[in-house]
Structure 1
Amino acid sequence: MSTTALQSPRTGMKAARPAGGVNFLRALHAEWIKFTTLRSTWILLATTLAAMVGIGLLGAWGVATALEQAADSGRDPGADGVRPQLLYLMPTGGIDFAQLIIGSLGVLLIASEYSTGMIRSTMTAVPDRLSPLFAKALVIAAVAAVTGIVSSFATYFLMQPVLAGYGQEFGLEVENLVPSMLLSGAYLALASLTALALGSLLRNSAGGIVTLVALFLVLPTVLGLIQLDWIQDALPYLPSNAGRQLLALEIAGGDLTRLQGGLVMAAWSAVLLAAAAVVTKVRDV
């Protein structure tokens, strides 16, 4: 790193400081340091991993047990709604809980700075205001993506010894299985960006997390109960429903494709981040 020399008025000695002023890479480095030095970061990431793996393993064990019991009793497991193909969904089976946990981390990443007043120091150090927001977005998206991919593959490999005891183990050659596990990272990255934008807009940790839960979990459930055609037509375009197409192993006719679902979820994140950028730029801190 290049430096420039400053003359100290008291000692006459020259002190070095970084040349070139503040830039995005330095803002990114600062946000990475803040992110990795908070204990809550590691707790929430570990909880996300545990939720993904734990729910996936529990689901795999439950399906395998149901299949074995049906075989022992001579019943058709499909009549009870249990099919061997359900096992293929278990590597990403914990995504509903993971999105809320990693989303909470995204909200806290920025809303906590507003609640503690530390945002003033951040904006003073980086006067353009947008660099810290986009640096936080890059950090949380990258970490969420890695967490999703690692969790999915960890779930898959830990499932196999469990399923082997029931003769239900399966390989990575299952159609669309590997893309689904890889795209779980994209799903969690987009969910975390949406959460970060909500935290920036609301500037309140509790409010941001409640809004995230409502948008990703409550709203799809409630609207799904309302049997009006226009509401049912709009349901696939909610962020969690659209993003779920990224993880689908089979796409039914008339549903959003994997690409379309990903683009819809990305549009939600982009619009909310754009709104957060405008508000960050014009509103007092």
Structure 2
Amino acid sequence: MATSTQPVPAERRSQRPRTSGPGVTFGRVLKSEWIKVTTVPSTVILIISTVVVMVGLAALFAWSQSISAEALSDPDFPAEFQAPAEGPGSPGFAALSVPSSGLIFGQLLIAALAVVLIASEWTTGMIRSTMVAVPKRTPALLAKTLVVAVVAFAVGLGSALISYLVAQPILRGEDIDFAITEDGVFQSILNTGTFLALVAIISMAIGILLRNTAGGVVTAVGIFFVLPLIVQLLSGLADWIPKAARFLPGDAGNQMVSITTLEDDLTQWEGGLVMGAWALGLLLVALLVAKKRDV
């Protein structure tokens, strides 16, 4: 029996049902970016290093407060060098900030990580592959930012909790240990993660804008560390300078994790709102610029 080998007409081929999957969705883009971040060895090493550094600094700070408390109980220690036994300035009061005491270096490492993750894609040209897979730039960049922010939040929260647990045996020797439910302690631990997440968003925005790893890292370090020092040096020139300095990202972030705040300083909520405004504003500008530039 002969079989027909004639080609199927084009009009009949066009009528065949087409199978289509979900295509490029934000969830898939998010999963892709998560795989990128968590499977690169250098990224994992930097994340672990951040946790180790933050916990180590917290342990050292707890040890220093323990030594101060021990000195208070020594009758031969000169009174002019002694800290108050209770209240602000006392070792017991200062010990409450132990969980967040590693932020000074934690924010530096997270800022560097965020800048490297995004700016290196432009440096190596990998961003072209990303944009081919996800033609709409905004979802791709938002997914990258969200993943890094979640990682930074987990690092900050986890480091603060571990720091609390590590510090308690050190502080207990001088009877200045404290419960996590004490006023402001858990909020400070939670805000440590929130602060690092906002640092990551700001740094990602800087990386998107500059598209250069070295320039992005230097700019992030300048904003969080150098700029506050410059403002502090200039604060004696005019009364408005220290008042304006409260709204810098670093200063506002420090207020976020504070146990108590002074009368003229931002409160924890105000500090969080200022940091959030910086993060949201820079991210929106970065996304708008990225849509108009060539890849």
Fold conserved between structures, TM > 0.5: yes
Match of 1:265 in 2: 275
Residue-by-residue CA offset, 1:152-181 (whole Å, 9 max, x unaligned)? 010011111112223322222321001110
Instruction: Report the AA paired with residue 78 of structure 1.
Output: A
CA–CA separation in structure 1 for the residues paired with 2:84 and 2:254: 26
Equivalent pair of 2:92/2:177 in contact (CA under 8 Å): no
Aligned pairs (5 A) from 1:201-240 = 201-226=209-234, 227=236, 228-240=238-250
CA–CA separation in structure 1 for the residues paired with 2:186 and 2:120: 36
Match of 2:202 in 1: 194
Aligned pairs (5 A) from 1:242-253 = 242-253=252-263
Residue-by-residue CA offset, 1:27-71 (whole Å, 9 max, x unaligned)? 111111111111111111111101110000001101111221232
Out of 22, 25, 40, which is 2:24 matched to? Answer: 22
CA–CA separation in structure 1 for the residues paired with 2:20 and 2:92: 60
CA–CA separation in structure 1 for the residues paired with 2:111 and 2:29: 22
CA–CA separation in structure 2 for the residues paired with 1:97 and 1:107: 16
Out of 34, 37, 48, which is 2:36 matched to? Answer: 34
Match of 1:54 in 2: 56
Instruction: Report the AA paired with residue 57 of structure 2.
Output: I
- Structure 1 position 225, deviation (Å): 1.4
Residue-by-residue CA offset, 1:67-117 (whole Å, 9 max, x unaligned)? 212321354422696532111111100101001101111111110101110
Instruction: Report the AA paired with residue 159 of structure 2.
Output: S
Instruction: Report the AA paired with residue 281 of structure 1.
Output: K
User: Which of these two proteins has the greater Rg computed from alpha carbons?
Assistant: 2
Unaligned runs of 5+ in 2: 1-17
CA–CA separation in structure 2 for the residues paired with 1:196 and 1:17: 38
- Structure 1 position 223, deviation (Å): 0.5
Structure 1 position 278 matched with structure 2 position 283: no
CA–CA separation in structure 2 for the residues paired with 1:212 and 1:70: 40
Equivalent pair of 2:198/2:275 in contact (CA under 8 Å): yes
Residue-by-residue CA offset, 1:117-168 (whole Å, 9 max, x unaligned)? 0000000111111111100111011111111111101001111111222332
Secondary structure of the corresponding residue to residue 35 of structure 1: helix
CA–CA separation in structure 1 for the residues paired with 2:27 and 2:19: 16
Match of 1:5 in 2: none
Going from structure 1 to structure 2, the CA distance change for 1:18 and 1:151 (only over 3 Å counts) comes to farther
Instruction: Report the AA paired with residue 135 of structure 2.
Output: P
Going from structure 1 to structure 2, the CA distance change for 1:195 and 1:71 (only over 3 Å counts) comes to same
Q: How many residues align?
A: 270
Structure 1 position 166 matched with structure 2 position 174: yes
CA–CA separation in structure 2 for the residues paired with 1:114 and 1:143: 22
| More off after superposition, 98-107 vs 63-72 | 63-72
Going from structure 1 to structure 2, the CA distance change for 1:113 and 1:64 (only over 3 Å counts) comes to same
Match of 1:10 in 2: none
Match of 2:266 in 1: 256
Aligned pairs (5 A) from 1:26-175 = 26-72=28-74, 73-76=76-79, 77-78=82-83, 83-175=91-183
Out of 172, 177, 182, which is 2:185 matched to? Answer: 177
Residue-by-residue CA offset, 1:224-259 (whole Å, 9 max, x unaligned)? 111122211210000111122211111222321222
Instruction: Report the AA paired with residue 183 of structure 2.
Output: E
Instruction: Quote the sequence identity (%).
Output: 43
Match of 1:9 in 2: none
Q: TM-score, normalised by structure 1?
A: 0.90
CA–CA separation in structure 2 for the residues paired with 1:18 and 1:40: 37
CA–CA separation in structure 2 for the residues paired with 1:279 and 1:173: 45
Going from structure 1 to structure 2, the CA distance change for 1:18 and 1:55 (only over 3 Å counts) comes to farther
| More off after superposition, 268-277 vs 19-28 | 19-28
Going from structure 1 to structure 2, the CA distance change for 1:18 and 1:196 (only over 3 Å counts) comes to farther
CA–CA separation in structure 2 for the residues paired with 1:221 and 1:212: 14
Match of 2:9 in 1: none
Unaligned runs of 5+ in 1: 1-15
